[in-house]
Chains A and B, each alone.
Chain A
Amino acid sequence: MASLDTGDDGGQKKGPGVKKAKKLSTRIDMTPMVDLGFLLITFFIFTSTMSSPTTMDLNMPKDNKNEEDQTKTKESGALTIMIGEDNNLYYWEGSLLPDGSNFTSSNFKDIRAEIIKKKKAVEAAYVTDPACEAKAKAEGKDPADCRQKDFFVLIKPTENADYKSVIDLLDEMTINKVARYALIDPYPEEVALVSATEGAPAPAADAPAQ
């Protein structure tokens, strides 16, 4: 079968008196070599880590006790996303209404559309701000980022949230190029609203929002 023929027929003339050497076949059976080759390939495929890990930047704000130093967000541009159990998401635009009527349940499939929608809405309401654009130019940033300067996403994971959900949502910010977002603790009443929604399967809390 698998063999290597060197084709060495040895056409040299030997002198008289030189005994003819017995010709051995130069064919080598290569099957074991192929076997070994593929065995090694499979070994390397299984043990290798082709993609090396990457890192994602996370900058947390300083805890400012001072009211005046805190970053203010415009209510029109704020989007709050809460992370509940089992990758469930809850969001509302602006501030949460006292009756919770703008509190909406969502999931990772739909949240991207919501972020994009909100971003578009903020960008549409943008009034040219020369100061911001000049600053962006001076810092070598894209002046187009100014269009979404009022857009702010607040990420509030509850105690039941998975680490993966938090990372996925932070990643969603990168994917949709949201320039301003923060990871913050939820208020007790917001947690209560989430646990009420999760505890009881009653969709009563989100029904009015639709």
Chain B
Amino acid sequence: MSRAKIVKKSTDTDMTPFVDIAFLILSFFIMATKFKPAEAVPIETPNSVSSQKLPENDAVMISIDKDNKVYFSIMTANDKQAAIDIIKGAAQARNIPVTDAQAQKYFPGDMVGMPFNKLGAFLDLSTEDKKKFVQEGIPVKDSANNELYYWIAATRSVFAGKPLKYLIKGDSKGKYPTFKRVIEALKNNDEQKYNLVTMPEGAPEGTDLWIERNTQRK
């Protein structure tokens, strides 16, 4: 009896399609990726169903971190002079001026969270040192000494007549009173419209908003 010979199959797999797919996914991620900006202070924002895009220019952002420290960032990427003017104007209003050279060291988008009396020294630090430096936050707790008020007042005068958005970015773990102080500082400047920065999430099923969004699509 002759046994049927088992045909030896090659174990050599052609991996070409596999590689194709891998690189397809890779190119997708490369193109779709927007890098997380390196932030000096990480802030985890709460979620909301809002779908409005975040304005990236002509805006100031007031950030509240998880330790209830308040930071101020001027987001004027195409107008650096405006940022310098705001810093100088705000410090001038408190009679603790910063020099031109110090203000020049601010880059639009950076977070500043120092009281005015230490602001100049902070701005003097190198970019590397600024990242490592633990800022104490803009004092807002005491309504008589709410320094955020001066920041907003200076911003208003620099941006007079131009569109400007106030972004408030709070950490989920932050407490409400700090947020209230921030709102107070804005209100005292006669500003009533703000944008809260959040991460998107879907509308819960069955709610009025969910019904509206789903019927619009049809």
Chain A residues at the B interface, C-beta cutoff of 8 Å: 1-5, 30-31, 33-34, 37-38, 40-41, 44-45, 47-63, 83, 112, 116, 157-168, 170-171, 174-177, 185
- How many residue pairs between the two chains, A and B, have CB atoms under 8 Å in the bound complex? 182
Contact present for A63 and B187 (CB under 8 Å) = yes
B15-56 residues at the A interface, CB under 8 angstroms: 15-16, 18-19, 22-23, 25-26, 29-30, 32-36, 45-55
Complex CA gap A62/B191 in Å reads 9
Question: Which of A4, A62, A163 sits near B176, CB closer than 8 Å?
Answer: A163
Contact present for B64 and A163 (CB under 8 Å) = yes
Q: A33-B19, A56-B50 are in contact. List 11 more A-B contacts (CB 8 A).
A: A2-B19, A30-B15, A40-B26, A49-B35, A52-B53, A52-B54, A57-B195, A112-B204, A163-B179, A167-B198, A175-B203
When distances are taken between beta carbons in the complex, the residues of chain A under 8 Å from B203 are 175
With A44-B26, A61-B192 already in contact, the answer to whether A56 and B48 are too (CB < 8 A) is yes
* Smallest Cβ-Cβ distance to A178: which chain B residue: B208
When distances are taken between beta carbons in the complex, the residues of chain A under 8 Å from B62 are none
Contact present for B207 and A161 (CB under 8 Å) = no
How many chain B residues touch A (Cβ–Cβ < 8 Å)? 63
Query: Interface on chain A toward B: helix, strand, loop, or mixed SS?
Result: mixed
What is the minimal beta-carbon distance from A100 to any residue of chain B, in angstroms?
23
Contact present for B46 and A2 (CB under 8 Å) = no
What is the minimal beta-carbon distance from B218 to any residue of chain A, in angstroms?
17
Question: Which of A48, A116, A176 sits near B29, CB closer than 8 Å?
Answer: A48
Contact present for B36 and A47 (CB under 8 Å) = yes
Complex CA gap A62/B33 in Å reads 41
Contact present for A164 and B29 (CB under 8 Å) = no
Contact present for B26 and A41 (CB under 8 Å) = yes
When distances are taken between beta carbons in the complex, the residues of chain B under 8 Å from A3 are 12, 14-15
When distances are taken between beta carbons in the complex, the residues of chain A under 8 Å from B173 are 162-164
Complex CA gap A160/B25 in Å reads 46
Question: Which of B33, B46, B196 sits near A55, CB closer than 8 Å?
Answer: B196
When distances are taken between beta carbons in the complex, the residues of chain B under 8 Å from A40 are 26
Flag B182-217 by CB within 8 Å of A: 1 or 0 each: 010011000011111111100110011110100000
When distances are taken between beta carbons in the complex, the residues of chain A under 8 Å from B23 are 37
When distances are taken between beta carbons in the complex, the residues of chain B under 8 Å from A185 are 180
Max chain A CB contacts within 10 Å: which of B11, B55, B192?
Answer: B192
